[in-house]
Amino acid sequence: MPAKKAAPKKAAPKAPPKTKIVPLYAVPIYGAIKSGDAAAMKKIAAQARKHISDLTAALGDLDKKLAAKK
């Protein structure tokens, strides 16, 4: 009886690039407030401000690209 040929191996699907996800929702902000830890509150406030700034810039770029498509 002839041996079965092995099926060719399929390449594994590529995983999306890993990015650091920082949830900046009200829950961590209110958690920092509730903790009463001034350093934690300053840290989360700085992170939130940076995130909002980055998001605003990205949204502006997106709007420019959309306007160019019209």
How many separate domains does the chain show?
Answer: 1
Q: Report if residue 31 sits inside a domain.
A: yes
What percentage of the chain exceeds 70 in pLDDT? 69
Q: Report if residue 56 sits inside a domain.
A: yes
Q: Report if residue 15 sits inside a domain.
A: no
Sequence letter at residue 25: Y
Q: Report if residue 1 sits inside a domain.
A: no
**Is the full-model pTM beyond 0.95?**
no
Contact 41, 32 (CB under 8 A): yes
Measuring CA to CA, which residue among 32, 62, 60, 61 is closest to residue 46? Answer: 32
Contact 23, 44 (CB under 8 A): no
Q: Report if residue 50 sits inside a domain.
A: yes
Q: How confident is the model at residue 31 (pLDDT cuts 50, 70, 90)?
A: very high
Of the given ranges (2-6, 42-46, 52-56, 65-69), which has the lowest mean pLDDT? 2-6
Q: Report if residue 7 sits inside a domain.
A: no
Instruction: Estimate to the nearest angstrom the gap between the alpha carbon of 34 and the chain centroid.
Output: 25
Q: Report if residue 52 sits inside a domain.
A: yes
Range of the domain at 54: 26-69
Question: Residue holding tokens 């191996």?
Answer: 9
